[in-house]
Structure 1
Amino acid sequence: MSSGTDIPNRDVAALRALAHPTRLAILDLLRTCDNLTATRCGELLGLSAKTCSYHLHVLARHGLIEVASEAGANQREHPWRRAYDELQVPLTEPGTAGNQQWHDAADGLLEAGLQHNYGLLLHAIGERRSWSQQWQSAVTVHTRTAAMTAEQLRAWGLAVERVTREHLDSAAAHPSAEQRPVRLVVYGLPHPAPPTQA
């Protein structure tokens, strides 16, 4: 597995392949499981092994996942794993300024990712009362509106990523039976300007 975050950003087909709810869900599972077969993937997602096998092969075709081993009597029993520790798709990419297909695919992936995260948030809201008080108090939601330049917004995002990486590295270095998968989501984007008074 590569430790880098690079994916073929100029590959429109790869961006489109990612912009699918089932494939995003599969990648989520592979972040919390070392590897998964199509059968196990189907059990966890409530889908058929055949459906999961198809989506796993689409992800593999674009280099996003890989076969963990050749074990298994058939392809549906091959365990799969992520090919990358992380995946990042920038909203801008050098050389794509005039590439409408790339921008359409990137927009589609961003929208699919937002919908996926929104679904996870709604699920958490519905489940949170069943959590222990410790986990309920650990949840954090922050919303701020401020005035920034583009460079200041970028600097904020990089600073948040540095702090996040420190905490992720610390958690990985100190595994505990109390750990469970968590979702960390950060957005920083221009806010619509208020209408000017006539």
Structure 2
Amino acid sequence: MTEIRLDAKTLRALAHPLRVRLLGLLRADGPATATGLAQRVGETSGTTSWHLRQLADHGLIEQDTDRGNKRERWWKAAYESTELRIEDFRDDDESAGALNAYLYEIASNSYRRMTTFLAQDWDQSWRESFVMSDQELPLTPDELKALRNELHEVIDKYRRPQRPGDEIVVTQLQGFPRQSKR
């Protein structure tokens, strides 16, 4: 699995809602053209092309040279997963706005994905299998980190190539403190 660790430069490139969506679509669904992506996100192909070029300039996507021709440019994600370490930006005031914009868009995309599933007509077996749950636990930061790592290990146990009859299942993991009214 190829992974990219966000630095200040790539974070600023991703601090735009449309770019996060375009990159997410390319990572989830594979190569596409600016025109095809524009139709999916409700933008013009010119706008989509410009944002795709910005993503390419920062090494987040690349041309898929196995597809298309001189008039039709196909794009693909340049990596499979993103690593963001908040501590990399702790003392970087210039990146604070980009970090907040990026995190907000990631959370918005998670919400959109779940509500899209809820609005679709899935077979009963999938409807009975899905999970939407929240649990509140009293934890320390170290315990939350350990929980996160253990849950990632569980998810990795199920990672395998796709087989006939499979559907791609989105797993969303969130763990964060909330301010209590004490």
Same fold (TM over 0.5): yes
- Of residues 64, 75, 81, the one that matches 2:76 is 81
Partner of 1:33: 29
Q: Is the 8 A contact 2:5 2:82 kept in 1?
A: yes
In the TM superposition, what is the alpha-carbon distance from 1:119 to its structure 2 partner?
2.1
Distance 1:194 1:50 in 2: 49
- Do structure 1's residue 72 and structure 2's residue 69 form an aligned pair? yes
Partner of 2:174: 187
Distance 1:4 1:104 in 2: 27
Q: Is the 8 A contact 1:16 1:108 kept in 2?
A: no
TM-score by length of 2: 0.88
In the TM superposition, what is the alpha-carbon distance from 1:59 to its structure 2 partner?
0.9
Tell me the percent identity: 24
User: Gaps (5+ residues) in structure 1?
Assistant: none
CA-to-partner distance for each residue in 1:140-185, whole Å, 9 max, x for gaps?
12211111111110011011111112212x2x2xx22323333211
CA RMSD of aligned residues (A): 1.9
CA-to-partner distance for each residue in 1:72-92, whole Å, 9 max, x for gaps?
223xx2211111111122222
Q: Is the 8 A contact 2:3 2:79 kept in 1?
A: yes
Distance 2:19 2:170 in 1: 17
Q: Is the 8 A contact 2:6 2:82 kept in 1?
A: no
Change (3 A) 1:27 1:180: farther
Distance 1:16 1:182 in 2: 29
In the TM superposition, what is the alpha-carbon distance from 1:125 to its structure 2 partner?
2.2
- Do structure 1's residue 18 and structure 2's residue 5 form an aligned pair? no
Q: Is the 8 A contact 2:16 2:101 kept in 1?
A: no
More strand by share: 2
TM-score by length of 1: 0.82
Matched residue SS, 2:76: strand
Q: How many positions carry a matched residue from both structures?
A: 181
